[in-house]
Structure 1
């Protein structure tokens, strides 16, 4: 009946180390917990006596029409959860009419995930091998992907103590299918005092990636470009100056810098700094349609959902992921109507109680009297 139910169903079937790999965060997991706590602190102010007999959850993300303001977040190695991995999850996203994000560390080649009828985004990690990095982008273009999401908050993997304690390694049959044979071998070896995946990513990822690389990527791809992993408004402005089409406000689901600000807390300032010059998406901690509405009200154009997709995949394969996306659609429609919003655009004018500032805020500047201007 809700995404928490899906998580419980997945936990019942996943091996303990895989469950912890998916669920865990870095360090003391304070940012992991903080994402959820911060979302719960966002209090919406519903409007009444508005015609909500028809609530439209559809919108446009990166120039493509979608059935709701949700895309799947990039999650690697999905065969850990189900034998079909990313293939099954991508089919469910296609059925739901939302974008599916296939990652650099996908356990299925991106060419087997993207399809002409689907909206597929390709998530890119900047690799030490620059030509391989650009080759991945070319492959994504040729496969029919409609956007590139460059993840910028992983110069190396955060210290995830659950994985260190369990000695987590990938099973031999689960590989980073988009990378060259042998490039992922360290991910299958136990590493003393460290996660095998952390060792693997430190060998593969370039910690030297810079804004100059973002600008070069912008020049070298014809696809919409999104930078994922921003929390500071200054970085969002810099991304806009590089010509990006979108930014994702994200702390990597609490899996990188422990102690980082919650994504939802960083969202309003980033949205204000961007000022409509590119789309703004939110990632980290979204677990319901109400959370989607919270993000819209605070300035997001949409959200990414990661762990719940993996829970659905583990619990029921393609049908499990479809159930996750159906629940989000039903919950968002319910939340829109009860908040007095007939569509996604109206949600962006919804007021939010900001207890830290002692008043109301709205993401839409210059709201008219009917929108409650002047009631801060």
Structure 2
């Protein structure tokens, strides 16, 4: 049975231990960034630059908490485990262990199309969990629809369409390490589906098979489940997606793994929230490492956040127990931040909770 190493009390601790226990090629894949890692670094830099405004002697705080509701699903905190491919790279339990941990902490779980466990088995492992299915559109609509129908039949409660990775990012660390999937780790949910056409041209081959806006229109017609678009980084794309009927936007730059030299997600979040209005669900992804980061994202317009790499690191270090511990760390940090900033609920977290040096003091 996996145990949590002595002294692990933050997500950064899990990352340090994961680097020690994982094979070098696997570490290069899991921690890798696009090109020079500028987007990855900027995600953290811009989150760190945001300062909080502490408030003191606040009243009516005893019954506070960080619960959140998304599409009628009640969560202990405003967080979902992001869709992470090939989780058996980190631990033999893979996605089955991660959803158990998410359910134990009552947070959401989003399963990747590239999961290393069948989507039906993951659903059966924790039937009461809040679980969404992340969809990579396939070259044909027929095979894409097969995945959607399987997710519906297995009881997934939302479909998340990832739009920002029609091709893989250029990840040099992964290339230098010569990473390839080890035996026994594969995208099992795609095994019965036709393979994409191969070629050496980004445009004529890969982009010729990529999803477009008409694909999104078609998907909206195919399912009654909430439909979210992940990977949105521009106001124009967010507005168009909402006009076409999506229920939610996930502001994400894929954790800096696809396109380098992008803005940080926290930089574009406020404008996207303003553009889509209060009625559209907006989630935030890329860069979360502390409960205070969750607080900042909510203050700037997010309803909840997704957590990616850190889940992998915790799973590698201590299995499902590590993931549950990682999630609990974030909840404790978020609640401490809320209490010290005078917020008894997630709904109390607004931009006024952030330090604004130019605001009038009178």
* TM-score, scaled to structure 2: 0.91
Structure 2 stretches lacking a partner, 5+ long: 1-8
Q: Which residue of 2 aligns with 1:245?
A: 247
> Per-residue displacement from partner, 1:162-203 (whole Å, max 9, x unpaired)?
1111111101210001102586799xxxxxxx9xxxx9xx98
Q: Which residue of 2 aligns with 1:145?
A: 156
For residue 343 of structure 1, report the CA deviation from its aligned partner.
0.8
- Determine helix, strand or coil for the equivalent of 2:189: coil
Q: Which residue of 2 aligns with 1:112?
A: 121
CA contact (8 A) 1:128 1:205 kept: no
Aligned partners of 1:215 and 1:47: how far apart in 2?
Answer: 46
Counterpart of 1:290 (choices 289, 292, 296) is: 292
Q: Which residue of 1 aligns with 2:33?
A: 25
Q: Which residue of 2 aligns with 1:56?
A: 65
For residue 207 of structure 1, report the CA deviation from its aligned partner.
4.7
Q: Which residue of 1 aligns with 2:174?
A: 163
Q: Which residue of 1 aligns with 2:336?
A: 334
> Larger relative CO (CA 8 A, sep 6+): 1 or 2?
2
- Determine helix, strand or coil for the equivalent of 1:57: coil
For residue 46 of structure 1, report the CA deviation from its aligned partner.
2.5
CA contact (8 A) 2:167 2:206 kept: no
- Determine helix, strand or coil for the equivalent of 1:144: coil
Aligned partners of 1:114 and 1:205: how far apart in 2?
Answer: 32
For residue 350 of structure 1, report the CA deviation from its aligned partner.
3.4
Aligned partners of 2:208 and 2:297: how far apart in 1?
Answer: 31
Cα distance change of structure 1 residues 121 and 206 upon mapping to structure 2, 3 Å threshold: farther
Aligned partners of 1:72 and 1:286: how far apart in 2?
Answer: 11
- Determine helix, strand or coil for the equivalent of 1:43: coil
Q: Which residue of 2 aligns with 1:74?
A: 83
* TM-score, scaled to structure 1: 0.88
CA contact (8 A) 1:286 1:305 kept: yes
For residue 248 of structure 1, report the CA deviation from its aligned partner.
0.5
- Determine helix, strand or coil for the equivalent of 1:315: helix
237-246 or 41-50, which deviates more: 41-50
- Determine helix, strand or coil for the equivalent of 2:258: coil
Aligned partners of 2:352 and 2:154: how far apart in 1?
Answer: 39
- Structure 1 residue 234 corresponds to structure 2 residue 231: no
Counterpart of 1:127 (choices 138, 149, 155) is: 138
Q: Which residue of 2 aligns with 1:367?
A: none
Structure 1 stretches lacking a partner, 5+ long: 187-193, 361-373
CA contact (8 A) 1:107 1:174 kept: yes
Aligned partners of 2:138 and 2:208: how far apart in 1?
Answer: 5
Aligned partners of 2:214 and 2:343: how far apart in 1?
Answer: 42
> Per-residue displacement from partner, 1:241-268 (whole Å, max 9, x unpaired)?
1111110000000011100110011100
> Per-residue displacement from partner, 1:70-96 (whole Å, max 9, x unpaired)?
000011000000011000000000111
Aligned partners of 1:205 and 1:85: how far apart in 2?
Answer: 31
Aligned partners of 2:193 and 2:283: how far apart in 1?
Answer: 35
Aligned partners of 2:15 and 2:67: how far apart in 1?
Answer: 26
CA contact (8 A) 2:28 2:179 kept: no
Cα distance change of structure 1 residues 36 and 259 upon mapping to structure 2, 3 Å threshold: same
